[in-house]
Homo-oligomer: A and B are copies of this chain.
C-alpha cells in the first residue's frame, strides 16, 4: 500500500471546512441529536440522508431497510468506503442541552421508551454528510469513487449484516478499504486508534428464567424466578473474578432484568439480557460456556425448568489491518497535529463495522475522535461516557476534528 503524501495536496483545491459548511454541519448535528431513532427504525434519519445525498447529486439507494448508500464517482481512481452509523439508544437524555431529545421510540417488545443519541452516532452521520458535500464541491482535488455507507442498527448488531445481506456489495462498487470513525470521551481535537485488534468481540444473550407463579404470601407453592434470577446475576460475577486469567480482559454485563407485574404475586418468569466482551477466542469460548453452565445450574438449584437462552447477536472483533492502521495514524498526525494522535491498546467497545469489509475480504481501519472539553475531562465528578444519559460531546472542535480526520484519510487515498 502506498499513500499519497499529504504535502502533495494543493491547499487551493483540497476540501476545506469553511465557516459556512461548519454552520450547516452544526444545524444538521443538532437536528439529528434532537430526533434520534432506535436501531433498524431510523426511518426519518434515512429520509434525511437521502434528501441530502440527492440534493448533492450523489446517486444513492436504500439498503438493509433503513440503511442508505451513496456512491460518488469522480473519474478513474481507487474506490474507498466510509461508514457512518445512524441509530440511537433507549436512554432518557439528561444532558440539559438546548437540543436534547425528548423523542420516544418503541422497542421490539412493544414498550415505549425515551430515545437519545447517547453513543454519538449523530456526530458520525452529520460529519459524513458534510464530508460528502466537500468532496462534491472540490472535484478537482481528487479522483476515484467514494462509497458513503450510512449504516443502521449498529447498537443491535443487526445493521452491517442487514446491508450485506441486502446486496450492499453487489449494488455498490467494491472498495479497496473501508474506513470508519467513532466519537469517544477523549479530548476534543484528538484522535486515537489501535494497530491490530481495535475493539472487543461482543456477544449478547437473552435469558428467560421460568419459575412457577403463586400468591406472594405462598412461596411454598412457587418457584420464585426473581430470587432465582438474582442468584444468577450474582453468580455470573464469578466468571470474571474467578475463571479467567486476570490479565485477559473480559466483561459480563447484565444490562436488563425484568420480571413481575405486582408486588403480591410471585411471577411465573423473569428475563434478563447479557452483553459479553472479550478479545480472545479461547476466553470468549470459556466465558460463553461458563454463562450457560451457571444459568443451567442455578435453575437446577431452584428446582426450576431449564431457562431459555437466546443469542441476540455477535459482534466480531474489530480489526485494523496493521500496515493500513499505521498509515492512517501518520495521516492523522499530519492533519490534526503530532500530539493529537495516539496509538492505543484495544478498547472493550464493540462494533459491527468490521463486518462490512470482512464480507469482501478487504482491509478496514477504524479510529476514534475525542468529544469532551478539557473542563469536562479535568472537572470533578465522573466523565460521561458513551451510553450515559449525560454523554454530550462539545460541538467544537469535536465535529471539525471528525471532518478533518475523515477528509485526511480519504484524501490520502483519493487525492490527486
Within A231-245, the residues touching B (CB, 8 Å) are 231, 233-235, 237-245
Does A387 belong to the interface (CB within 8 Å)? yes
Q: Is the beta-carbon distance between B253 and A216 smaller than 8 angstroms?
A: yes
Q: Is the interface of A mostly helix, strand, loop or mixed?
A: mixed
Does A324 belong to the interface (CB within 8 Å)? no
Does A348 belong to the interface (CB within 8 Å)? yes
Q: Which bucket holds chain A's interface residue count?
A: 35 or more
Residue among A110, A155, A238 facing the most chain B CB atoms (10 A cut-off): A238
Within A214-268, the residues touching B (CB, 8 Å) are 214-222, 224, 226-227, 229-231, 233-235, 237-268
Q: Is the beta-carbon distance between A256 and B249 smaller than 8 angstroms?
A: no
Measured CA separation A226–B233 after assembly (Å): 8
Q: Is the beta-carbon distance between B226 and A257 smaller than 8 angstroms?
A: yes
Query: A215 with B267: in contact, given A226-B233, A255-B262, A301-B301 (CB under 8 Å)?
Result: no
Q: Is the beta-carbon distance between A275 and B216 smaller than 8 angstroms?
A: yes
Contacts of A222 in B (CB 8 A): 242
Chain A 180-216 near chain B by CB (<8 Å), digits 1 or 0: 0000000000000000000010101110000011111
Q: Nearest chain B CB to A200's CB is how many angstroms away? A: 7
Does A270 belong to the interface (CB within 8 Å)? yes
For the complex with contacts A218-B245, A298-B301, 20 further pairs of A-B residues with Cβ separation under 8 Å are A89-B261, A155-B262, A200-B217, A217-B253, A217-B347, A217-B350, A220-B248, A224-B238, A226-B257, A227-B234, A227-B254, A230-B234, A237-B238, A239-B241, A255-B263, A256-B267, A257-B259, A264-B275, A293-B303, A294-B301
Task: Show the binding face of A for B, using Cβ within 8 Å.
Answer: 89-91, 107, 110-113, 118, 155, 200, 202, 204-206, 212-222, 224, 226-227, 229-231, 233-235, 237-268, 270, 272-275, 277, 290, 293-294, 296-298, 300-303, 312, 345-350, 382-383, 385-390
7 A/B residue pairs, CB under 8 Å, sorted by A: A200-B217, A213-B387, A217-B347, A227-B237, A247-B348, A257-B260, A297-B298
